[in-house]
Amino acid sequence: MEFWDIYDINKRPTGRTMKRNDWCLKDGEYHLTVLGVVARPDGTFLITKRVMTKAWAPGWWEVSGGAAQAGESSYDAVLREVKEETGLDVSSAQGGYLFTYKRENPGEGDNYFVDVYRFVMDVQEEDLHLQEEETDGHMFATLEQIKAFAAEGKFLHYDSIQAAFQGL
């Protein structure tokens, strides 16, 4: 069973944990998630399409990410998530942490911080080993293509992470 740390409003661990997807958080309590934007030097970005069996946002485009496990740092979590979902080891790539945003869902028990990272590396098709349970395809997309998916309402978190696609 996977556990997540519970954080306070200042993103400090409380010393308590929750079971994965238990949605028991009180207002003012959060769990930590991470997103890892993988960019290539040519200005394209690795995006993946969610499998249609996902309960939430099936078939939408996204960047790699997920929840930090109990005791796991944000950085270690993003390295693990990118590796699990794409097969890429971004630990020696250029870049790193960019910013944090938070989502509050009062009364739903699912409040979370999102630490956003960007890694720049020369990724080739043969470098990818996509997690089939999670992804149903990928592409190296331009910013314009990502914006078009977002305009269609088919790109997860775009409004919150659009700055991660700027200034390469």
Domains and their CATH numbers in the chain: 3-159 (3.90.79.10)
> Could you give the percent of the chain with pLDDT greater than 70?
100
Say how many C-beta atoms besides its own lie within 10 A of residue 73's C-beta: 12
Tens digits of residue pLDDT in 80-136: 999 999 999 999 999 999 999 999 988 888 999 999 999 999 999 999 999 988 899
For residue 2, which of 21, 16, 15 has the smallest C-alpha distance? Answer: 21
Rounded to the nearest angstrom, the gap between the alpha carbon of residue 34 and the centroid of all alpha carbons in its chain is: 5
Give the pLDDT confidence score for residue 24 in this predicted structure.
Answer: 86
28-84 pLDDT, tens digit per residue, is 999 999 999 999 999 999 999 999 998 889 999 999 999 999 999 999 999 999 999
